[in-house]
């Protein structure tokens, strides 16, 4: 099924599906609304979608270090690295999981971010997301730190993959 997918930049008409997928993935990702998605897309390095014939299989949103973004995790990388691509979120539609969609979204990002020194992201430790940790480690990401967010309600592992 994932062989039939087209990996390309998202378009504004994709927003309703992106927001629905994002909502279904909370708390693995933070909730966002249409205005925030539009703002992030405008300043993104890439908002890549995996497009099937009738639906979206997944998406990945990556921001450059120059983005105007106040996420504690983004700010951690901004204070520690002069240049990076930050994966703010990656979501795969439940119908497409375990088919390589996430790895292919990252492969597309790695092509786009070839001029960057590293790609960064975070994975929830509390609430735990062990599948995401294994997935990112298999892609070559290494833990470079941990921090509490949301007033201590969440703890994340901060990951980096250098090129």
Domain of 41? Answer: 2-162
- Tell me the CB-side half-sphere exposure of residue 103, using CA atoms within 13 A: 12
Residue 16 confidence (pLDDT): 97
Residue 115 confidence (pLDDT): 79
Q: Provide the whole-model pTM.
A: 0.93
- Tell me the average pLDDT across 133-155: 95
Residue 163 confidence (pLDDT): 82
Give the model confidence (pLDDT) of 56-99 as tens digits: 999 999 999 999 999 999 999 999 999 999 999 999 999 999 99
Residue whose C-alpha is closest to residue 29's, from 138, 114, 102, 98: 102
> How far apart are alpha carbons 62 and 88 in whole angstroms?
6
User: Do the bridges between strand 56-64 and strand 85-92 make them parallel or antiparallel, or are there none, so unpaired?
Assistant: antiparallel
**pLDDT for residue 3 is more than 70:** no
Q: Calculate the CA dihedral of residues 134, 121, 12, 21 and round it to 10 degrees.
A: 40
* Number of domains into which the chain is organized: 1
- Tell me the CB-side half-sphere exposure of residue 46, using CA atoms within 13 A: 25
Give the model confidence (pLDDT) of 108-140 as tens digits: 999 999 878 899 999 999 989 899 999 999 999
What CATH number is associated with residue 146? 3.40.630.30
């Amino acid at each position: 099924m994932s062989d039939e997918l087209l990996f390309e930049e998202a378009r504004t008409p994709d927003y309703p599906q992106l927001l629905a997928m994002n909502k279904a993935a909370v708390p693995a990702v933070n909730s966002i609304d249409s205005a925030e998605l539009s703002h992030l897309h405008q300043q993104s390095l890439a908002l890549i979608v995996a497009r099937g014939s009738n639906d979206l299989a997944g998406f990945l949103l990556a921001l450059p270090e120059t983005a105007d973004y106040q996420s504690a995790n983004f700010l951690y990388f901004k204070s520690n690295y002069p240049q990076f691509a930050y994966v703010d979120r990656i979501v795969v539609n439940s119908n497409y999981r375990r088919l390589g969609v996430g790895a292919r979204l990252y492969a597309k990002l790695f092509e786009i971010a070839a001029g960057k020194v590293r790609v960064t992201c975070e994975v929830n430790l509390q609430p735990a997301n062990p599948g995401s940790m294994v997935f990112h480690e298999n892609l070559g990401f290494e833990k470079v730190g941990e921090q509490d967010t949301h007033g201590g309600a969440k703890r994340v592992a901060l990951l980096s993959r250098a090129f």
